């Protein structure tokens, strides 16, 4: 079972539908025990970084997020859910994140040539083609973005995918069974469904070895 963490962020149902189209057993929940029992965990995110972290803390879910990652359970952060894994964000000041992946979350530089937020379809360049989350996904594929901030990992070996938007930024990370994507796979049509299907496969394989 895949648990989608509900901490008051939007877009949960569309993420759930994306997984269900891949035949996944998926549950939206804010119950720590249900999250702990799950074979895979998804941390989505829509909204401001500080508000999202506060929503997690208010529901007593901070430790279960940390425990899920440290246990080696397949974990996927989406959009702000990816950013929350990092050390801190400069959105609205300076707000701490989980610091599971070291590095800041930065705002796109102001430019007359490019609007902020970065919104719409853009290409991804897969720099670690062995990453199982992108199995069967071609480098150069288009996915859907909505964000004004991007992650800047201190260790570049966690970067799985990059995208250009005036700056070349990390648009997906991978470390062991920890994954994160800046774009919205649930809004990225067939490419996004493939990515969600790949995560479903990773979770099933983990569940089989655990059981």
Annotated catalytic residue: which of 138, 156, 184, 205?
A: 184
Q: Give the Cα separation of 99 and 83 in Å (integer).
A: 10
Dihedral angle sign, alpha carbons of residues 98, 104, 109, 113: negative
Q: Which residue in this structure is represented by tokens 């246990």?
A: 71
Q: Contact at 8 Å (CB) between 134 and 126?
A: yes
Annotated catalytic residue: which of 52, 79, 118, 147?
A: 79
**Cis peptide preceding 26, ω within 30 of 0:** no
What lies within 8 Å, CB to CB, of 172 at 6+ separation is: 82, 124, 131, 133, 134, 159, 160, 161, 179, 180, 181, 182, 183
Could you confirm whether 147 is annotated as catalytic?
A: no
The conformation of residue 118, written as its DSSP 8-state character, comes to E
Could you confirm whether 118 is annotated as catalytic?
A: no
Q: Calculate helix-pair angle for 62-70, 49-58, nearest 10 degrees.
A: 90
Could you confirm whether 52 is annotated as catalytic?
A: no
How many other C-beta atoms are found inside a 10 Å radius of the C-beta of residue 60? 11
Annotated catalytic residue: which of 91, 147, 170, 186?
A: 186
Q: What are phi and psi of 196, to 5 degrees?
A: -65, -35
Question: Which residues are registered as beta bridge partners of 168?
Answer: 164
The two beta strands, 2-5 and 101-107, are unpaired
Q: What are phi and psi of 55, to 5 degrees?
A: -65, -40
Residues involved in catalysis: 79, 184, 186
């Amino acid at each position: 079972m895949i648990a989608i963490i509900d901490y008051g962020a939007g877009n949960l149902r569309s993420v759930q539908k994306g997984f269900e189209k891949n035949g996944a057993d998926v549950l939206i929940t804010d119950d720590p025990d249900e999250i702990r029992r799950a074979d895979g965990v998804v941390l989505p995110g829509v909204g401001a970084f500080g508000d999202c972290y506060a929503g997690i803390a208010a529901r007593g879910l901070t430790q279960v997020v940390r425990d899920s990652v440290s246990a080696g359970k397949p974990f996927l952060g989406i959009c702000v859910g990816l950013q929350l894994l990092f050390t801190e964000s400069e959105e609205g000041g300076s707000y701490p994140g989980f610091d599971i992946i070291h590095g800041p979350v930065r705002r796109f530089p102001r430019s007359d040539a490019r609007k902020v937020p970065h919104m719409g379809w853009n290409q991804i360049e897969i720099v670690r083609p062995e990453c199982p989350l992108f199995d069967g996904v071609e480098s150069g594929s288009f996915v859907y973005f909505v964000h004004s901030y991007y992650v800047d990992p201190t260790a570049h070996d966690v970067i799985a995918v990059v995208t250009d938007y005036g700056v070349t930024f990390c648009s997906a990370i991978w470390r062991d069974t920890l994954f994160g994507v800046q774009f919205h796979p649930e809004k990225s049509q067939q490419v996004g469904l493939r990515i969600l299907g790949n995560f479903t496969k990773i979770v099933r394989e983990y569940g089989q070895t655990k059981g």
